[in-house]
Amino acid sequence: MIARMLLAVFTLALGFAPADSAAQRAPARPAVAGEVRMSELPPEARETLELIRKGGPFPYAKDGAVFGNREGALPREKRGYYREYTVKTPHVRNRGTRRIIWGAGGEYYYTADHYNTFRRIHE
């Protein structure tokens, strides 16, 4: 028992996670899952892209808000690098699940499932 406790202390002190840690049990969040051509996007997404490029006006108050990338699915950047914009979903009264994320470097990402998967928009 003492040997097990000492092993745990040394393991943690050296920065190793125990074999049954939550970090090792949790499934890895996928990174950007490929690309999508602009022509393959729904028409509402193409309209949103055009609004982003023109600087608005945007139909939703949260459009242009900082996207924190808390899930870590997009490349890691400083806070404020990414902005999110709503893509209208026909027949839905709320904002729905579709978004375009704009990166300050000029890249765009599309998610149809509220940040679960992202595809980089290829023009």
Residue 102 tokens read as 């704009």
Nearest-angstrom CA–CA distance, 91 and 89? 6
Annotation says 91 is catalytic: no
Compute CA 52 distance to the chain's CA centroid, rounded to the nearest angstrom: 18
Compute CA 12 distance to the chain's CA centroid, rounded to the nearest angstrom: 31
Marked catalytic residue, from 35, 71, 77, 114: 114
**Helical (H) or strand (E) element with 93:** none
Marked catalytic residue, from 84, 107, 122, 123: 84
Annotation says 50 is catalytic: no
Q: Would you name the residues annotated as active-site residues?
A: 84, 114
